[in-house]
A and B are shown apart, each in its own frame.
Chain A
Amino acid sequence: MIISKAKIKNFQSYYDNTEVNLQKGLNLFLGTIGAGKSKLFNAFYWCFYDEIYKTDSGWLNINSKNFLSVFNKKCLLDADINDVLECCVELTVESEQKTYSVKNQITIERANLEDYTSERNWNFLSNDLIVSFDNEDGNRNNLENYDARNYIDKKILPKQISKYIWFQGETLNELIDIKNGSTFKNAINYISYIEYYENNINLIEEVIARTEKELRKKKKKNTTNEKEYTRLNYEIERLEREIKSNNKSIENKKKELEQIDKAISEIDKRLNDINEYIDLKNKEKSTDSERKRIFDKIEELEKGKSNNFSKKWILIDTKELLNNGFNKLNEFQKWYEEKQNNNPTGLPYDIPSPTYLKEMLAKKECFVCGNKFSKDSEHYKRINERLEYASGKIEEVKKENRELLSLNNKVTDLLSNQGYLNTVVNTVDDEIKEYFNNNKQLNSKKNEILEDLKDIKDEITSLQEKHGNKMTDSFLNEKSKYNYNIEEKEKIGRTISSLENKEFKLRQDLKRNKSDLDKIPQNIDKEYQEERVLKYLYVLNDAYNKTLEKEFEKLIDKVEEKANAILYKITKANNVINGKIKIDRDSFNIKLVDLDDNDNRDVNTGHNVLTKMCIINAMVIISNEYKNKSYSFITDAPTSDLDDGTTKLYYKIINEEFEQSIVLTKDLFVYKKDKNEVDVDSLKQFNFNNVFVIKKEGASKDLTESNSYSKLEKII
């Protein structure tokens, strides 16, 4: 099967007409979140099966009550009263030498200009599914609605297997839950060829039962003990009915068990999410405390800066200047000291002192040479001059000295700080460097913490969107539901055991009654054709049961082998896992083990996702080979939990393994640096031949649902 073309009109985010040609091999559709990838997936699925997938709601069947879910919002908004709108998806499919056109279309009419998003304000006119193809005789065959749906189911892509072959990445856990073996068994039943073998057995057992009944009817006419024969025959038929009814009960109980396992798995996930939520809240609290601590430290550092550096910054690179300054101060002090001992006469001003000179003048006697002199003498005059000069000068000097002394004191004071200032100047550069380093480290730490905090908050928001804001309130309730379901599971398990024991006993009774019936002699010894037929049927039934068992085991072996082959291709290249996939043959649980078959303890979400995808792909590939059929493999967001390297390898592998695959993903989506343009060259290395980008276009300022739309552009 190859889908060669898709035509979309007014479907979800695709406004008006969109057409895309698809090829064999990998068709890759790249788009960012919200671009329209899932809507394109929905287009394919809705075209065939009238269903779309909504995140967090699951699969939604589209009908006359919810048809607006598939219509493009812009076309709804633009429509006037009485305008007729069409939403249509048409796929051209090539399968088993026929070319089909599969077209699903809904037509509506605007009833009024009120809320365009409500079905009440629209008239639902029609919903038609049409499958058209040319017959062998060249006539065009057009099947509609019920017939079209049946035809798609029988001849093109059975709905039962569609969810594995056209799979939504978000449903991966439902399709294969590695801890719930019944999901694997279901997948085997839906996808593989085992159903053919099971139907062999169903048919032959029914034919055996009817032939035996016919034989008993014929033999009754020929029996020697009609009463006993009738009693035993009645008993046999009663036992057969009871076995059938018991089987039905076992089947129903097993379905209940499946539902409960599913419920347990879902509750388990919710409990895990709640625990994760609690951990995240605690982590948020501690990270926020750390944030506050870092912010405080930064503030402290800033204050320190403004205190210290406002004074100290001026000293940067002043070492030479200060040294020069201190040298000058030292020079001053030296000069001051010298000055103290200097006067024009060669003698200090105060020698002899004015007191001494006054005494000499009073006594009119020189105390140095001892000569007496008169008042009008030259000696008297000179001594008096000396007195006047010395007194005046001394006052002058005293005044100058006072000023100089004060200055000298200040200089002395400054010089006493020389050591300290030198130290400060020497260390200020280092202090500043240290400040900037600390500042840088703290800011880097701050950014890291803010980033962590944002991630934590995003995870919290995501969990709250999934489960509501009052998650922790529901913890006890969920726990109680979990325990209740576990108990129910055990009860059902016991019921099934008891029913199986009952079946065993019933079959034994049946065997005994049949044997007793056979022992009643016949009047005439004759061979009935039914007896002859039954001999062959018993042998064949036995052969069918043995073949089924053998084929089932072979299939599991093949699935495991193929899944590991796919896994090996990926892990060999980028060393994501060192191990292999193992399917438990009793429980059908799936796990990753190391090469010695021990449980692999380093398994994370990405590993589990990869495991599941390898299993599904293996089942589809093997089944396609066995049935000699091929279906287009379509998947939306399969690799969200995988790293880039693994993603690239996975796409390479599905390109090799499937005749056609259509992948919608945001991964591998790389923009050129600083430009709003896809880096096409980065994709060419993978030799993908048909690559598209899905872009969101519309009003650039306000990309709301009603004025934006998806657009496809082929880039490779």
Chain B
Amino acid sequence: MEIEEKIISEVNRQLQEIEGEEENKIFKKVNSLFVYQSAKLTEKDRQFKESINYIENKLFDIIK
């Protein structure tokens, strides 16, 4: 399993108490967004500001 998937699955364990399928979907999408960006940041594929801008752009599409 890739490291991003491992981290996503660990964090999702903390989010298990959230009720509502829709809510759950949104949390998972947002979580994935952050985890993949943080992986790129850790592996120096991206700068911090680039990651922030990318997240902000996507975030408001996911949470309307």
Contacts and interface: CB of A to CB of B under 8 A. Distances in A.
A1 to B, nearest CB: 15
Contacts of B37: 203
Nearest to B10: A547
Contacts of B51: 203
A547 B8 CA distance: 10
Nearest to A537: B30
- Among B7, B18, B37, residue most surrounded by chain A Cβ atoms (within 10 Å): B7
Contacts of B31: 540, 543
A571 to B, nearest CB: 32
Nearest to B39: A196
A688 interface: no
A211 B59 CA distance: 11
A628 B10 contact: no
A203 B2 contact: no
B26 to A, nearest CB: 6
A533 to B, nearest CB: 5
Interface string B15-58: 10010000000110011001101110111110010011001100
Contacts of A551: 10
B27 A199 contact: no
Contact of B44 (A153, A537, A544, A546): A153
Contacts of B30: 536-537, 540
B36 to A, nearest CB: 10
A200 B55 CA distance: 12
Contact of A203 (B14, B38, B44): B38
B52 A203 contact: yes
Interface in A610-631: 626-628
Interface string A532-558: 110011011011101100110000000
Contact of B63 (A150, A202, A536, A543): A536
Contacts of B56: 207, 210-211
Contacts of A434: none
A552 to B, nearest CB: 12
Nearest to A153: B44
A415 B30 CA distance: 122
B6 A543 contact: no
A208 B26 CA distance: 17
Contacts of A532: 63-64
Nearest to A204: B34
B33 to A, nearest CB: 9
Contacts of B41: 199, 203
A207 B56 CA distance: 7
A10 B59 CA distance: 56
A529 B64 contact: yes
A193 interface: yes
A154 interface: yes
A207 B52 contact: yes
Contact of A196 (B3, B13, B48, B55): B3
B44 A154 contact: yes
B28 to A, nearest CB: 10
A197 interface: yes
A365 to B, nearest CB: 157
B27 A536 contact: yes
B38 A543 contact: no
A195 interface: yes
Contact of A536 (B26, B38, B48): B26
Contacts of A628: 1-3
Nearest to A195: B42
A602 interface: no
A550 B9 CA distance: 13
A501 to B, nearest CB: 29
A596 to B, nearest CB: 34
A547 B64 CA distance: 27
A154 B3 CA distance: 16
Nearest to B40: A199
Given A196-B39, A546-B14, 19 more contacts: A153-B44, A197-B7, A197-B38, A200-B34, A200-B38, A203-B37, A204-B34, A206-B48, A206-B52, A210-B52, A529-B63, A533-B59, A536-B26, A540-B31, A543-B14, A543-B31, A547-B7, A551-B10, A627-B3
Q: Which 9 A-B pairs have the closest CB atoms?
A: A199-B38, A543-B14, A200-B38, A154-B44, A533-B63, A199-B41, A196-B42, A195-B42, A547-B11
12 contacts: A200-B7, A200-B35, A200-B38, A202-B48, A203-B37, A207-B56, A536-B30, A536-B63, A540-B31, A547-B10, A626-B3, A628-B1
Interface of A: 150, 153-154, 158, 193, 195-197, 199-200, 202-204, 206-207, 210-211, 529, 532-533, 536-537, 539-540, 542-544, 546-547, 550-551, 626-628
Interface of B: 1-3, 6-7, 10-11, 13-15, 18, 26-27, 30-31, 34-35, 37-39, 41-45, 48, 51-52, 55-56, 59-60, 63-64
